[in-house]
Amino acid sequence: MTARKPALRFSDANRGGGSTASLALRAYRLLEEAIVTQIIAPGASVTEAQLSELIGMGRMPTREAVRRLTHENLLDVLPKRGIVVRPIDARAQLRLLETRREVERLLARLVARESNDAQRATLRELAGRFEAAGQQADILAFVHADKSFNELCLASCANDFVVGAMRLMQGPSRRFWFQRSRDAEILVESANLHAALALSMASGDADAAAQASDRLLDSAEHFALRAIEEAHDALPLTR
């Protein structure tokens, strides 16, 4: 694996002490971002030692992070091949979005209904971060805001089954978005739609939150379909 060190901006630096659980969470965050931002390329075969070296952490927290990322559909652990980063497939992403639309609509309703005052304040703060990322064309700022937004939604929805389902879909969706986000139109549109979703959740209006979720998924499906069309157009002509 040839990879540069992740340009990560977590407030809790990736080195230093901490409990076993906190180290595993830190390793997960670093590796998840490295995969999402394709510092570790789709389809790459890597070893646990390489991943540990990349994020500057020990083997045990890295191993726990790999287990979690495998569960979240970003890595595969294969016999004789070791750890493989799952490839990006626009058609698979479209199928994923069909499922995500239904679950995320419910998630939006639950967050609007169940969030406490502190969580609503954080949602409003995240809306501002999304808007700023779009205005400044800052892809990494969006990636960080999106991860915080996802985790806040899962923490506040009060439904373990929704949490379990969303964790299977968020990582692949984030990585697919990052691949497409080099198009400024996608970054700005996604940032605005995420901001609107966060604000609708913060308002406590479950119907408005569900509608904002559908608009976000409409956009995601549009960009997945565009990726499929572009891949088809790039195929060589056969006689």
Q: What is the pLDDT of residues 35-58, one digit of tens each?
A: 999 999 999 999 999 999 999 999
Q: Write out the residue range of the structural domain in which residue 195 sits.
A: 90-233
Query: Contact, 108 vs 154, CB < 8 A?
Result: no
Same domain, 161 and 222: yes
H helix intervals, the chain: 20-36, 48-55, 59-71, 90-114, 117-136, 139-156, 160-180, 184-203, 206-233
Question: Three-state SS for 123?
Answer: helix
Mean pLDDT of the 139-168 span: 96
Share of the chain above pLDDT 90, in %: 79
The span from the CA of 133 to the CA of 188, in Å, is 8
- Above 90 in pLDDT, residue 209? yes
Mean pLDDT of the 126-141 span: 96
Distances (CA, A) of 195 to 111, 133, 179, 209: 15, 10, 20, 11
Same domain, 140 and 223: yes
- Above 60 in pLDDT, residue 2? no
The span from the CA of 66 to the CA of 22, in Å, is 15
8 domain residue, yes or no:
no
Same domain, 196 and 212: yes
pLDDT computed for residue 230 by the predictor: 83
Share of the chain above pLDDT 70, in %: 88
Please give the DSSP secondary-structure letter assigned to residue 181. Answer: T
Domain stop point among 36, 52, 85: 85
The span from the CA of 51 to the CA of 100, in Å, is 29
- How many residues are there in the chain? 239
Confidence of residue 181 (pLDDT cuts 50, 70, 90): confident
Same domain, 185 and 151: yes
Same domain, 47 and 71: yes
φ, ψ of residue 85 to 5 degrees: the values are -75, 125
Same domain, 97 and 57: no
70 domain residue, yes or no:
yes
Domain stop point among 30, 55, 85: 85
> For position 116, which CATH number holds?
1.20.120.530
Confidence of residue 10 (pLDDT cuts 50, 70, 90): very low
Domain stop point among 85, 114, 138: 85
Same domain, 40 and 125: no
182 domain residue, yes or no:
yes
- Above 50 in pLDDT, residue 5? no
53-100: per-residue pLDDT in tens? 999 999 999 999 999 999 999 999 988 778 999 999 999 999 999 999
Mean pLDDT of the 221-233 span: 84
Overall domain count for the chain: 2
11 domain residue, yes or no:
no
Same domain, 37 and 115: no
